[in-house]
Amino acid sequence: MRIVFAGTPEFAVPPLAALVRSHHEIIGVLTQPDRPAGRGRNLSMSAVKEFALENSLPLAQPQTLRTTEGRAALETWRPDVLVVVAYGLILPPEALAIPKHGCLNIHASLLPRWRGAAPVQRAILEGDDETGVTIMQMDAGLDTGPILLQRALPIGDTDDSVSVLDKLAALGAPALLEVLSSIDSGSVLARAQPSEGATYAKKIEKSEARIDWKRSASKIDRQIRAFRPWPIAETTHRGEQVRVHRARVVGDAAITPHPPGSILGLKDDLLLVACGEAVLGIAELQRAGRRSMTAREFANGLRSTEESFE
Q: 2-201 has which CATH code?
A: 3.40.50.170
**What is the pLDDT confidence band of residue 255, given thresholds at 50, 70 and 90?**
low
50 vs 37: CA distance, rounded Å: 15
Query: What number of CA atoms fall less than 13 Å from residue 39's CA on the CB side?
Result: 1
Q: Provide the 10 A C-beta neighbour count for residue 218.
A: 17
235 vs 285: CA distance, rounded Å: 10
Q: What is the pLDDT of residues 195-244, one digit of tens each?
A: 899 999 999 999 999 999 999 999 999 999 999 999 999 999 999 999 99
Asked if residues 180 and 172 have their Cβ atoms less than 8 Å apart, the reply is no
206 vs 195: CA distance, rounded Å: 31
What pLDDT does residue 100 have? 96
What pLDDT does residue 37 have? 78
Q: What is the mean pLDDT of residues 168-189?
A: 96
**What is the pLDDT confidence band of residue 130, given thresholds at 50, 70 and 90?**
very high
* DSSP state for residue 308 in the 8-state scheme: B
DSSP 22-74: SSSEEEEEE-PPPEEETTTTEEE--HHHHHHHHTT--EE--S-SSSTTTTHHH
On the question of pLDDT at 187 being above 80, the answer is yes
**Could you tell me what percent of the chain has a pLDDT over 70?**
98
- Every domain range in the chain assigned CATH 3.10.25.10: 206-300
Amino acid at 9: P
116 vs 249: CA distance, rounded Å: 29
Q: pTM, whole model, 2 decimals?
A: 0.94
Domain 206-300, what fold? Methionyl-tRNA Fmet Formyltransferase; Chain A, domain 2 (3.10.25)
Q: What is the pLDDT of residues 88-112, one digit of tens each?
A: 999 999 999 999 999 999 999 999 9
DSSP 197-257: T--EEPPPPGGGGB--TTSBHHHHHHHHHHTTTTT--EEEETTEEEEEEEEEEES-SPPPS
- Every domain range in the chain assigned CATH 3.40.50.170: 2-201
197 vs 201: CA distance, rounded Å: 13
- When the pLDDT of each residue in the chain is averaged and rounded to a whole number, the result is 95
What pLDDT does residue 252 have? 66
